[in-house]
Each structure stands twice: as C-alpha cells, then as structure tokens.
Amino acid sequence: MGAAPSTPYTVERLVGTFVGDESLPLSSDFWQKLLELPYDAELPFERVHEACQLLAKNNCKTRHLAKILFHLACYLQKSMSTSGVPLLVHEKAVNAVSFTSVFLKHLIESAQDGVLVLYLYLHDNELIPKSILGDQTIEILVMRNVLNFIASVDVSPNTYFLHLELLNFMIIAMSTQLLCEPSPRSNDVNPFLDAAMAQDGHLVSSVVCKLLLNYITRPHVPFNRASYAMFYDGTENSVLDRVGSAAANIVLLPFSYLISSSSEGSRNPIADSSLDVLLVLIHYRKCLVSEGYSVTENQVSASSVSLPKEDTYFSDNPYCMALEHATDCELDLVDFGDNAHSDQHVKLPFSPLFDTLGMCLADETAVLLLYSLLQGNSTFLEYVLVRTDMDTLLMPILEALYDTRRRTANQIYMLLIILLILSQDSSFNAGIHKLILPTIPWYKERLLLQSSLGSLMIIILIRTVQYNLSKLRDVYLYTTCLATLANMAPHVHHLSAYASQRLVNLFHILSRKYNKLSDPRDNKLSVAENNSIEISSLVDMSAELHIYTDFMRLVLEIINAILTYALPRNPEVVYAIMQKQDIFRPFKNHPRFNELIENIYTVLDFFNSRMDAQRMDGGWSVNEVLQMVIVNCRSWRVDGMKMFTQLHFTYEQESHPEVFFIPYVWQLVLSR
C-alpha cells in the first residue's frame, strides 16, 4: 500500500524474510513494509505452498506467526478509533488478516497426527508494549480485537472487506476443531476458540447480536473506486478477483469428505459467514478435567487418550447462553451499548429474524439456527407460536420435506424436530387449521385447493413416512413423524378429504407390511431350528415385526384421538374410515390393537346404522354419504367410546448433543 508499487522481487524478499529462519523483533520496520504490500501482490501457488512449509519449519524459532497476529491486533485497535480512521489503516488491517489466514490455514491443515503447535507466545526477551498486550495471551488479544471490531464497527464501503476477511479468519482459526474427535476431549487444542470463550460477557452479547443482525440485514455495499482504491489496477473486474482470499482458501481444507450437500437460498457473503461463525461458536464445548482428578495417579497421558467421561465435564458456553437468553426488541431500537452492559441478555429484533429465517430455510444453516433458537430460547419459541402467519416458516419446511431426495438426512432430522417442537403447543395445533392456503404450487401429485396449513402438514408428514417405509432403517425418523401427528390429532379441525384418506391409508400400508412379515415367520420356525443363518434372519424379522406393531398402534391412537376429541369437526375422517372399514377387521382380536379397533367400530356402527335407517333405492352416491356423515356428526356423542390418555410427545435433546452438532456444523461450513 506504499506510495510506490512493489516489485515481484520486493514481494519475494519480504515474504521470504517472514518465513525464513531469522527472528525479527516486533519493533522492526519489516512488519510495516510487509503489511504495505499491495493486496494483489500475489505469488505463484507453488511459491506460496513453499513459503507455508518454510514458516511451519521456522516458526518455532522465529515466532513470526505470533508477531504478525500481534500486529493484526494493533491495526484492528487503530481501526476502532472513535476519530476518523485513515483508509490506509483499514488497508493494512485487511492485508494483515488475509496474509495471516493463508499461513494459519496451512499450519492447521498440515498438523501431524492431529497434534497442533502454533507457538502463539513470544520470546522472553521480546520487548512487548504492555499497554497493548498486558497479561493476555496473543490469541486472547487477537480474538478480543477481532470480535470487538465485528461487534462495534458498522459494515460500510470502507470496512466491508475487513469485516469479510475477519469473519473468514475466524472460521479458519476455529477450524482446529477439525483435528479433534467428534466428542470433545480434555486434551483438545483449540486456542482461538478457547480465547473466544474467555471474552467478557458484554462483548459476547454484542457479538451474538451483531452476527445475527448481519444475517438479518444481509448488508450489500456498493463498489466504488473512492472506497476501494486499493483493489483496483485499472480493470473493471479486477476487484472480483481479489475479494475473499480467505473464503477462497477455506474450502480447500483437506476435510472435504464431510461435504455432502450444496447449500441453497439467498447468498450474501457477510450474512453467510456471520451465521457460520455464530453456529461454530454456540455449538463449541470445552471439555475440562474434574477437580481432584489426578492424571499422574490414574496413569493417563493428557496428550494421548481421552479421560473417562465421569472424570470430565463441559464448561458453560457464553455464546450459547447469550443466544438462549435473547429477548425481543424493534430493529431500529437495537442498542449495542445496551447489549454491552447487559452481559448475556441480548436484545434482538424477533420479527425480521422470523422473516429472514422463513426466506432462507432452503439453506441447512438457517434450519440449524432455527432449531437452536426454538430448542434453546423459550422466549423466541413463544414469539413464534403467537405469530398468525405461521406459513412463513412452515411452508418452506414442508416444501423441503416434500423434496426429500434433495435433502440430507441431517437436514430432514432437523426439520422434523422443529415440527415436533412446535406441535407440543396446543394453540399451534389449533391455529394451523385456521390458515387456508389457496393453492400449493410445489405439490405435484394432486391439485390442492383451499387446503388448510394443518391438512398440508399432516399430508407431508404421512408422505415422509410412506416414502421411507420401503427401507425401514431409521426408526427415529418415523417415530418423530408419528409423534408430531399424535400431538396434532386432538386439535385437528376440518381435515381435508385428501389428508383423511392418506391417514387411513397409512394404517393400510403398515398392516400389509405387518402381514408380510408375520406370515413367513410361522413357516420358517421348523427350518430355523437347525440353521444358524435362518435363526439370525428370524431374529431380524421378529424385531422388524415388533417395530411395525408399534407403528400400527401409534397410527390407531392418532385416529382414535381425532375420533374421540374432534369427530364433529372432521366428517372427512369419518368418511375415509367408512370407505376402508374392512382394513381394520383382521385386527379386532389382536391383543395390542383390540381396544383401539373397538373404538373405531363404535364410530362405524353409529354411522352405518344411520345409513341403514335411511336406505335409499339405487344406492348412495359419494356426496350423499358425505352429507349423511356431516348431518349425523352433529348428533354424535362420545359416551360409548373407551377413553385413552391423550398422547403428548415432547422433544428432549440427547445428553451429549455435541457428538452430532460439532461435526454437522463444520460439514455445513465447509459446504460453503
């Protein structure tokens, strides 16, 4: 960024000095010259790779990584000055963070056997400005200034690229998690993540708020020569080749085997990176050794194997706690000063957050954020449940479930869990049947006109079950779908004809599968006695038969709940049962089903007797039967029904959710 353009020789010499074996003090003017290199001062890939290897070899002696990180922190401190900040300061900060990101990324991904040594401390004889570093470590100083800049400096034409590079730097710095096991251990080395967790509560709250505001507002900054002079060399499109160097590098991490999907939805670099950083921060878990546990006495090496779980515990995650305690406020009333003095009580604009999530739910990261909010923040959950435009969230969720072939298994799990969480509220279950959808253009199997949102949700849940029944390998998926339907059942209101038919047909499909499994079993018993392979097959078949028995009972309980608590409001359900009443007959004496089937036949007997009393010459048309059901629903009395305890399923997170969420978050981050 100096007055005169640098030559390739100057670039080679400066970079060569940085990665060489001569240790330069912090006070050397070398650092100034290095960070004044033009942003587009590029070296061939082979030379960059060679330079990274040399730094990895010499950093233990020179501590140059720690020193450039120190200078990065200093320039960020200057960039946050309350007075006017010269553009040159922002330019040097951008250079420092992008330059550091390249070398830090290489050091992390080339760690031998997952052992990472970055030498983030300076030599004892180094003259360190105490006013800047104090008693802090380098990583805590850097993360404090990075987070402070992100939280306190607005995204503007002058700061846009610095914001973007800092967010990508954080992703790279926190990627040390990719060297660890999915289940955190006490000997994991995550210096920058631990430094982020060690920040003051007011800074944590401000960071969570700012990252979410970036996600909500999705800042777009116009490109102009006055603001971005450092990125232009006279060609119109040159800026596009120089933006996001760290973003371009991060996807080259050698952990790409984790990638299993391409993200969809609206792309915005600042918004996307802000959400990625937030998700990594809130799902981090620091494993600590319990007080009083002696590594020496138990002969466990702190650098080898992990300690027994009963001797370790997780420290509190301040970012997760800040998100869980966030409260609602208007967008124009968000006050970072207020957030900064309220520790972990973040004030967020729930309304635009709700709308943004609805717009972006085709993206898995948005789904994970919505899950994190609904599962962890009861205030946000209450806000969502009182919204009258629930279709804003539900329609993209249901559309994603409709198109399961293009979704990952993890995305489907998250979507189904979100529906289960929402279905735990009776007002939600009642409200979705009052919202009428004129049409559903993405539903191709059938033209759905004037269908309620509740009917559509039931259709999609049943479709999800049926689509996966051919390969019964994930009982959790089916159980979650049926649990949500069971929560909804007592509150069903004017269920559509198509939804009613799909519900009854679900029992029919399960019963046919049940019959196929139960019949061969009896025939193979005699053969199985002397055949170990047949015995193993029989055991598998018996377990699958038991699963189908449970599913059939749950579907019968769902139908029973509708008939017991909501029959007068659901004539189409009665009509669908009457149409297929023969499918229930074979199970009237089944010990697991007989009481439930008895209730269904109580309903059938009531309406069949009304039909017999009004026997018509020439038979009944479909409309005439339906009209008869509608009329007689008014005189229906539940007195003859056997009352069962109303089913109510709740979602509980696993005891060790980090085993799932940490790899999942990084899978999503890398898929960017």
Q: Summarize the confidence of residues 434-446 as an average pLDDT.
A: 94
* Predicted local confidence at residue 308, as pLDDT: 53
The residue among 171 and 529 whose pLDDT is bigger is: 171
- Residue 528 in this model has a pLDDT that exceeds 90: no
Residues 125-137 have pLDDT tens digits of: 777 766 676 678 8
Look at 227-231, 429-433, 488-492 and tell me which has the smallest mean pLDDT. Answer: 227-231
**pLDDT at residue 287 tops 90:** no
Instruction: State the pLDDT confidence band at 400, using cuts at 50, 70 and 90.
Output: very high
* Average pLDDT estimate for 639-665: 89
Q: With b meaning 16 or more CB within 10 Å and e meaning fewer, what string describes 505-533?
A: bbbebbbebbeebeeeeeeeeeebeeeee
Structure confidence at residue 668 (pLDDT) = 94
Lowest mean per-residue pLDDT among 15-24, 170-179, 254-263, 279-288: 254-263
| Segment among 46-50, 335-339, 394-398, 668-672 with least mean pLDDT | 335-339
Q: Which residue has the higher pLDDT, 9 or 672?
A: 672
Per-residue pLDDT at 395 exceeds 80:
yes
Residue 272 backbone class (left: φ over 0; alpha: ψ -120 to 50; beta: rest): alpha
Q: Please write the tens of the pLDDT for every residue from 538-548.
A: 556 778 888 88
pTM score over 0.75: yes
Average pLDDT estimate for 627-650: 88
- CA 121 to chain centroid, in Å, comes to 35
Range 389-416 average pLDDT: 93
Give the per-residue pLDDT at 431. 95
Which of 157-161, 348-352, 644-648 has the largest mean confidence? 348-352
pLDDT for 58: 94
Mean pLDDT of 419-432: 96
In the chain, pLDDT over 90 holds for what percent of residues? 54
Max CA distance (Å), the chain = 107
Average pLDDT over residues 647-672: 90
Please list the residues that pair with 449 across neighbouring strands. 439
> Percent of the chain having pLDDT more than 70?
81
Lowest mean pLDDT among 137-146, 202-211, 329-338, 396-405: 329-338
Q: pLDDT tier at 280 (50, 70, 90 boundaries)?
A: very high
The whole-number pLDDT of residue 539 equals: 55
CA 221-224-227 angle, to 5 degrees, is 80
Cα–Cα distance measured from residue 654 to residue 401, given in angstroms and rounded to the nearest whole number: 23
pLDDT at 80: 86
Whether residue 263 is predicted with pLDDT greater than 60 in this model: the reply is no
Name the token pair of 609.
């007797």
pLDDT for the residue 379 = 96
The C-alpha atoms of residue 29 and residue 333 are separated, in whole angstroms, by: 45
- pLDDT tens digits, residue range 72-102? 999 999 888 766 677 778 888 888 998 899 9
pLDDT recorded at residue 106: 92
In this structure, what token pair is assigned to residue 80?
A: 């946050």
Under DSSP, the state recorded for 586 is G
pLDDT at residue 3 greater than cutoff 50: no
Q: How far is CA 459 from CA 179, 410, 451, 466, in A?
A: 43, 21, 11, 10
Amino acid, single-letter form, for residue 446:
R
Residue 266's pLDDT is 53
Task: Count the alpha carbons within 13 Å of 5 in the hemisphere toward its beta carbon.
Answer: 7
DSSP state of 251: T
Amino acid at 582: D
pLDDT beyond 80 at 616? no
Of the candidates 426, 369, 367, 423, the one whose C-alpha atom is nearest the C-alpha of residue 399 is 367
Task: Identify the pLDDT of residue 237.
Answer: 33
pLDDT number for residue 2: 43
Instruction: Between 476 and 436, name the one with better pLDDT.
Output: 436
